[in-house]
């Protein structure tokens, strides 16, 4: 079931992003608007477009989220492989996507400080380094 849904979601996301889908949606809206005088701009006439757009948007959210989840997981796996394969890379970065936003923010700031310091532009401060933060994360995981 999961593979079938993934295939349907991928194909649907591709088709929804195709220019022909946009032109089809625009054409449907123009036809709907043009039919207004024929239906005397009735409540039913308005309900047709409201219902159609709501249902299609509702379904598209799930398909797009599924595609983004798979894309994100694939990108993460590829980045993890690069970290593993590069000799000087810090493998402690593997799996940091599971950290809180605050923890990721700390690592990002430490990386920026480290970059500035290596370029000779930033002062050497007493703040935690990237290695300290990654080691703290490793210690926390070992204690769980």
pLDDT in the model for residue 122 = 60
User: Domain check: are 111 and 81 in the same one?
Assistant: no
User: Domain check: are 65 and 18 in the same one?
Assistant: yes
By residue range, what is the domain housing residue 128? 91-143
The SS3 assignment for 37 reads: coil
25: left (phi over 0), alpha (psi -120 to 50) or beta: alpha
pLDDT in the model for residue 106 = 92
User: Domain check: are 15 and 74 in the same one?
Assistant: yes
Domain boundary among 37, 61, 85: 85
Name every residue whose Cβ is closer than 8 Å to that of residue 12 and which is 6 or more positions away in sequence. Answer: 60, 63
User: Domain check: are 22 and 67 in the same one?
Assistant: yes
- As a whole number of angstroms, the distance between CA 49 and CA 53 comes to 6
- As a whole number of angstroms, the distance between CA 12 and CA 86 comes to 36
Quick check: pTM over 0.85?
Answer: no
pLDDT in tens, the chain (144 residues): 788 888 888 888 889 889 999 999 999 999 999 999 999 999 999 999 999 999 999 999 988 888 888 899 999 999 999 988 998 888 888 888 888 899 899 999 998 998 888 877 665 667 888 888 888 877 767 665
- As a whole number of angstroms, the distance between CA 4 and CA 45 comes to 36
Name every residue whose Cβ is closer than 8 Å to that of residue 80 and which is 6 or more positions away in sequence. Answer: 94, 95
């Amino acid at each position: 079931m999961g593979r079938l849904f993934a295939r349907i979601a991928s194909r649907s996301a591709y088709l929804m992003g195709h220019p022909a889908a946009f032109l089809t949606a625009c054409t449907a809206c123009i036809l709907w608007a043009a039919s207004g005088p024929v239906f005397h701009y009735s409540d039913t006439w308005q309900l047709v477009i409201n219902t159609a757009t709501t249902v299609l948007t509702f379904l598209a959210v799930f398909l797009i989220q599924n595609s983004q989840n798979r894309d994100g997981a694939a990108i993460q796996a590829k980045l993890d492989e690069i970290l593993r394969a590069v000799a000087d890379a810090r493998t402690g970065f593997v799996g940091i996507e599971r950290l809180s936003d605050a923890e990721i923010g700390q690592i990002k700031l430490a990386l920026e400080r480290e970059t500035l310091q290596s370029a000779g532009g930033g002062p050497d401060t007493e703040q935690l380094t990237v290695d300290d933060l990654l080691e703290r994360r490793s210690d926390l995981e070992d204690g769980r």
